[in-house]
Chains A and B, each alone.
Chain A
Amino acid sequence: MDRYRGNSQAIAELVKGHAVHRDVYVDKEIFELEMEQLFPNSWIYIGHESQLKNTGDFITSKIGNQPVLASRHRDGQVYVLHNRCPHKGVKIASEACGNTGKFFRCPYHAWSFKTDGSLLAIPLKKGYEGTGFDTDQAAKGLKRIENVKIYRGLIFVRLAEEGLSFEEFFGDALSTIDNMADRSPEGELEVISQPIRYMHTCNWKMLVENQTDTCHPMVAHESSAGTAVSVWEREKDNFTETPMAVQLYAPFMSPYEFYEGAGIRVWPNGHGHTGVSGSIHQDYEDVDGYQDMMVEAYGKERAAEILGDIRHNTIYFPNIMVKGPVGILRNFIPLGVDKTLVESWVFKLKGAPDKLYERGLMYNRFINAPTSIVGHDDLEMYERAQEGLLSNGNEWVNLRRLWEDDEPEETTEVVNGTSERQMRNQFYAWRKFMVQNMDKAVEAAE
């Protein structure tokens, strides 16, 4: 018998604020419900508009476990479509990206569709005459997803027909995306390369939580960042300047006090970020000419404001992290209750010096690659947690650091940077979007 399906009470009880039940990480039914409820009810990132420059360009993605595609139609619009032939269900686009020309053509029976999804042609169409085909959903072509928002080029989609609007869902959290895009003198981001992909045998939420876990770097990354610091201390006399690599690694070893002071900001609906008043990205060397370009583009005051906002990691609930000052977006794509694909993208700031893109790419391979020593440290912890949670010795994961009895769940607030508040904030939102529409669906079925 299902323990959680249709039982919003049981799901709500998994989240106690200062603790969450281990089923959120290990239970297969909970994972299925995340795919059915949480992801469709939330606004999910599927790609960037710059990946769809020309008519006929497309990208594929998934929302929960549902395949979607986005394509640039000849009217200049981006359409997001269910990636499934209305005939037999065959995926229309199988590659991560490409150009389909004037239309999509299903490789199975040659049904074809315009790049806005509408049906173009079916071979031997007379076989459908008088059959009532025109009343089928199939006659409408690839089903279009209506709730699409392109914000500073980032494409977000909400599958559920009803729910929070994009603006209601993200609110002030959009300020990190704004800051990242504003770092381009032209105010625009661009994707010009593929992401680094890294497979994780753990639940997707462990990765999301780790992004605002400021009490782990100096511990878990002692092996990588700590070794980088000690090797550098020994070797630095052989160098005339501090390499970019050392600038990127060393701040990971910042002490607890640094993170405490840097702060965490939480927003409603599970969004939040580390590095409110300073972050591990604050001491990178200036890039020649960049400052002047920014002043030229925005004026002195505004340029200083943009470059002075050096946020660390921003969680856009449920499953992406944006690192504004480095221009990185990490997409934590759930594949199974204990399997997560991480795709880490680097944005190019249009009109900015190449050195910034070089730094973003370097950061990405240092931290987010299957060959990354920092990544090795983290994955080891996730895998151990995924196994350890099967213990019946304790069914709860503890999130009590700097917890307060009357902690508000839907608020904007800045707190001590070592708080587990943002993790709790994510789970408040998790509970909300897991059960949203669930009771309604149960009533309708009854």
Chain B
Amino acid sequence: MNRDDLIDFVYDEAAAIDQMRWNDWLALYHKDGRYWMPLEWQQEDPILQPSLMYEDRLLLTVRVERLTGERTFSQKPKSRCHHLMERPRILSMGEDDGVYKLRTSFIYTETRGDLLERFSGWVSHELVEVDGALQIMLKRIDLINFDAPFSNIQLFI
């Protein structure tokens, strides 16, 4: 993988979410991959410190299927979202452990009906190569105001 492959991956992942191609998006996750939204500043532990989300593929699948469910009333009307991202910084090319690491500053917008909410922060990707393709081992979202009382965040940052 070269640097452009890694950077493109981060943009493409966000595009899959913005375009609501949920199955394409889930397919980007490693079978043991995790989506993590910490609730503390520079949080280290997703298990014994509180998080907003720490989900594996099973739980992400539940979320994705719920979004299109006939009786998912919080998605009537449906939410839409938009990622505005700074160019990802490559923190590691995985020389030692085979894990590529990137960190990207973002503004995320989620809207539903007449409401629109904005979130800012940094997304960190830990990627591994499986059969010639990149997969997400960990996607970590650190919001600048992780401890503020939000209303619903229904899609994915």
Counting chain B CB atoms within 10 Å of each CB, the highest count among A230, A343, A373, A381 belongs to: A373
A195 to B40, CA, bound (A): 10
Does B53 lie within 8 Å of A371, measured CB to CB?
yes
- Distance of B156 from chain A, by nearest CB (Å): 10
Inter-chain CA distance A52–B127, complex, in Å, is 42
Q: Which of A3-11, A288-296, A356-364 contacts B (4 or more CB under 8 A)?
A: A356-364
B49–A193 contact, CB under 8 A?
yes
Given contacts A193-B40, A199-B150, contact A370 B50 (CB under 8 A): no
Please give the number of chain B residues whose Cβ is less than 8 angstroms from any Cβ of chain A in the complex. Answer: 31
> 13 additional contacts, CB 8 Å, given A193-B50, A371-B153?
A196-B50, A197-B148, A197-B150, A198-B150, A199-B149, A226-B69, A227-B66, A231-B58, A231-B65, A358-B48, A361-B50, A371-B53, A380-B73
In contact, B73 and A196 (Cβ under 8 angstroms)? no
Q: Which residues of A contact B66 (CB under 8 A)?
A: 223-224, 227, 373
Q: How many A-B residue pairs have CB under 8 A?
A: 104
Do A358 and B71 have beta carbons less than 8 Å apart? no
Of B37, B69, B152, the contact of A379 (CB 8 Å cutoff) = B152
Contacts from B to A (Cβ < 8 Å): 37, 39-40, 47-54, 58-59, 61-63, 65-66, 69, 71-74, 147-154
Interface residues of A toward B: which range? 35 or more
Residue among A200, A220, A371, A380 with most chain B CB within 10 A: A371
Chain A, 23-52, contact with B by CB distance < 8 Å: what is the 0/1 string?
A: 000000000000000000000000000000
B65: A residues at CB distance < 8 A? 227, 230-231
Contact A228–B48 (Cβ < 8 Å): no
CB contact between A354 and one of B48, B50, B73, B152 (< 8 Å): that residue: B48
Q: Please, which residue of chain A has its CB at the minimum distance from the CB of B69? A: A223
User: Which single member of B50, B51, B53, B74 contacts A377 (CB below 8 Å)?
Assistant: B74
A246–B55 CA distance with the chains assembled, in angstroms:
12
Residues on A with beta carbons closer than 8 Å to the beta carbon of B53: 365, 369, 371
Per-residue contact bits, chain A 229-265, to B (CB 8 Å; 1 contact, 0 not): 0111001000000010110010000000000000000
Known A346-B50, A361-B51; judge A376-B149 contact (CB<8 A). no
Whether A361 lies near B150 (C-beta < 8 A) is: no
The minimal Cβ–Cβ distance linking B95 to chain A, given in whole angstroms, is: 33
Task: Report chain B residues within 8 Å CB of A98.
Answer: none
A201 adjacent to B73 (CB under 8 Å): no
Is B152 in contact with A365, judged by CB distance below 8 angstroms? no
Pick the residue among B39, B74, B152 that contacts A223 (CB under 8 A): B74
Partner among B63, B73, B147 whose Cβ is within 8 Å of the Cβ of A197: B147
Contact status B50-A235, CB under 8 Å:
no
Closest B residue to A364 by beta carbon equals B50
Closest A residue to B152 by CB, please name it: A376
